[in-house]
Homo-oligomer: A and B are copies of this chain.
């Protein structure tokens, strides 16, 4: 948390998402893994991801870390969309259920995340990863700790 943009403390979570995430280089790992925030609501966020052989494991399908990263991203933004000015958060735990293997041929995936509980100290959220036809590939939940200064 040592290198946040200077203006971070002046922004609400939603403003941070709209200004920072949208910028170039906002999420280096997201760029590396073809993932992009495409929608933010009040307590919700949707990412898209384009699977590639570059994200494969030795079993020649997308590594479990690919869907885990996607779910953590969408849920982090869903929770952040509810945060007030200068409030920070961190992932406490992440749980992913893998339903089907993801291949490059699977094509564009979206991951919609929704806050289940937005508390003063703790928030939880759930997400699903689906393809263009609505088929389910993974789902998961995350617990976040919230730090209100």
Contacts and interface: CB of A to CB of B under 8 A. Distances in A.
A22 to B, nearest CB: 10
A122 B92 contact: yes
Sort chain A's interface into a size bin.
35 or more
Interface in A45-69: 53-66, 68-69
Interface string A86-130: 001011111111110101000000000000110101101010100
**Copies of this chain per assembly:** 4
Nearest to A16: B58
Given A29-B54, A124-B97, A143-B93, A72 B63 contact: yes
Contact of A141 (B56, B60, B76, B95): B95
B29 A94 contact: no
B98 A29 contact: no
A111 to B, nearest CB: 12
Contacts of A14: none
Contacts of A21: 58
Contacts of A119: 99
Contact of A58 (B26, B90, B97, B141): B26
Contacts of A28: 53-57
Given A69-B69, A116-B139, A139-B116, A4 B59 contact: yes
A64 to B, nearest CB: 4
Contact of A94 (B16, B61, B95, B99): B95
Given A55-B29, A63-B29, A68-B65, A94 B101 contact: no
